[in-house]
Amino acid sequence: MITIHHYLTLSALLFFIGVFGVLYRRNLIVIFMSIELMLNGVNLSFITFARYTNTMDGHVIAFFIMGLAAAEAAIGLAILVMLFRNRRTVQADDFSLMRD
């Protein structure tokens, strides 16, 4: 029997895999993917709670998040292309011109 706890555990797992991806991977494309993973973990949790509380809000919110994630990916990738044109690299460690 799959209960709400299974879904919530899965969503938390997805979210924290994303968090670790952002914190520990150095390739910017992988970092973007990890952020998407975090958002999808959140989506799953919204859908689960929507089923659990018998309301439609969670379903709608999931669509909002998907739309915003797409917009965010568009701008993020545009920034990445711009960086690559100027610097020929997408490794996060190479972008450290500004320091205290």
Partner 1 sequence: MPAFTIDVVYQLMPLVVLLVGGLGFMLAGAMTRSAGPLQRGFALATLFVTLLYVFKLWGADAGPILHGMLIMDRFALFFLVVVIICALGTILISNGYLDRFGLNRGEFFSMVFFSTMGMGVLVSAYDLISVFLGIELMSLAIYVLVAFRRRDFFSNEAALKYFIMGAFAIAFYLFGVSLIYGLCGSTNFEAIAVAVSERNLAQQPVFLLAIGLIIGAMGFKVSSVPFHMWTPDVYQGAPTPITSFMATAVKAASFAAFLRLFYTCFMASKDQWVGIIIVLAILTMTIGNLVALVQRNLKRMLAYSSIAHAGYIMVGLVALSVDDTKAASAIMYYTLVYAFMTMGAFAVVSLLERRADERGLEGGDYAGLGLRRPFVGLCMAVFMFSLAGIPPTAGFFGKYYMFSAAVDQGYVTLAVIGVLNSAVSLYYYLRVVVSMYMQKSDEAAPTYDDYATRFVTLVALLAVLWLGIGPSGWVPGVETILDWTRASLAGVLELSSR
- Residue from 9, 24, 87, 89 binding partner 1 (CB under 8 A): 87
Q: Does 97 bind partner 1 (CB under 8 A)?
A: yes
Total binding residues for partner 1 by CB under 8 A? 40
DSSP-derived letter for residue 15 is H
CA 49 – CA 20 distance, rounded (Å): 24
Q: Does 57 bind partner 1 (CB under 8 A)?
A: yes
User: What's the one-letter identity of residue 50?
Assistant: A
- Residue from 20, 66, 71, 89 binding partner 1 (CB under 8 A): 71
Rounded to 5 degrees, φ, ψ at 99 are -135, 160
